[in-house]
């Protein structure tokens, strides 16, 4: 019986431990998890978002305070969320996360960066006393829903895809590093050619090119062999024209001289004829 009592004590302790551990791990967290698929829910209501990484010591120290603050979310009418930047690279690109942990406040699609102390009390005061109104909001150009930040998110996701593809080529397929670089270089050139063809097609659709008219050829200059006879012919024609003009001038002068004399003769002859008739 003594041996049986000694065995029951450790067994009871083990049962209590096993019963307590699931209860501790099964505790429901009030912190919501945001991903690249459901991040648009931030655009409605009031949110507090933490960007963290599992390997970051500062993020690990912040987790208890963030969990305690999330318990007040229902009373403050604020939704508390977190984003793992190692898993959600698109979201880290939308917000351009350069330091960890980073905290943002969002109110109806208007984002502000939180730079105050990182304690539960300070988080609660920031929301309850509306201290976020004293913080300048992020410009609409750099908002997570803007075209610029959407492009940045795509670039971040592309960089992760390239990194995973490189590790797949090198570690899984056994290609050398330079072979992987050649694959990416070929893919870059091919994508550039395809993009260029697409841009040309779009340009032709919106601005079709006009057909060019055939250019008229300029008149050919005469060769030097024939230029001298042509010059002589032109000089002779000019000389003939000058002679003709001189003759015309002389004829005009003669006619002008004859007209007054004939008029005088008529005047003289007229009265004499009248006297003879009488």
Q: Which of 56, 205, 207, 268 is catalytic?
A: 56
CB 33 within 8 A of CB 40: no
On the 0-12 / 13-18 / 19+ scale of CB atoms within 10 A, 104 is buried
In whole angstroms, give the CA distance from residue 138 to residue 98.
Answer: 16
In whole angstroms, give the CA distance from residue 229 to residue 166.
Answer: 82
Would you call 59 a catalytic residue per the annotation? yes
Would you call 56 a catalytic residue per the annotation? yes
CB 79 within 8 A of CB 115: no
In whole angstroms, give the CA distance from residue 63 to residue 75.
Answer: 20
The residues, any chain, with a CB within 8 Å of residue 143's CB and separated by 6 or more, are 109, 111, 149
Q: Which of 59, 106, 207, 268 is catalytic?
A: 59
Catalytic residues: 56, 59
């Amino acid at each position: 019986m003594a041996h049986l009592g000694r065995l029951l004590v450790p067994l009871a302790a083990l049962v209590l431990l096993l019963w307590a551990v699931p209860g501790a791990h099964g505790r429901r967290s009030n912190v919501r998890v945001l991903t690249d698929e459901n991040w648009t829910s931030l655009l409605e209501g009031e949110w507090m978002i933490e960007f963290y990484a599992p390997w970051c010591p500062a993020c690990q120290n912040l987790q208890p305070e963030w969990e305690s603050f999330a318990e007040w979310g229902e009373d403050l009418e604020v939704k508390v969320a977190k984003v793992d930047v190692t898993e959600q690279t698109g979201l880290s690109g939308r917000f351009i996360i350069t330091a960890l942990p980073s905290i943002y406040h969002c109110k109806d699609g208007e984002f502000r960066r939180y730079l105050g102390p990182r304690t539960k009390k300070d988080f609660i005061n920031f929301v309850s006393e509306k201290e976020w109104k004293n913080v300048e909001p992020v410009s609409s150009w750099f908002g997570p829903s803007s075209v610029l930040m959407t492009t940045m998110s795509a670039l971040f996701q592309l960089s992760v895809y390239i990194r995973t593809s490189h590790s797949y080529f090198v570690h899984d397929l056994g290609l050398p590093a330079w072979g992987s670089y050649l694959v990416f270089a070929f893919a870059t050139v091919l994508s550039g050619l395809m993009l260029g063809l697409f841009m040309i097609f779009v340009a032709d659709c919106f601005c079709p090119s006009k057909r060019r008219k055939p250019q008229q050829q300029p008149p050919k200059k005469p060769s030097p062999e024939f230029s001298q006879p042509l010059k002589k012919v032109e000089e002779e024609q000019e000389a003939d024209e000058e002679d003709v003009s001189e003759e015309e001038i002389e004829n005009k002068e003669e006619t002008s001289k004859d007209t007054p004399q004939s008029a005088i003769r008529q005047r003289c002859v007229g009265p004499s004829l009248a006297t003879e008739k009488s």
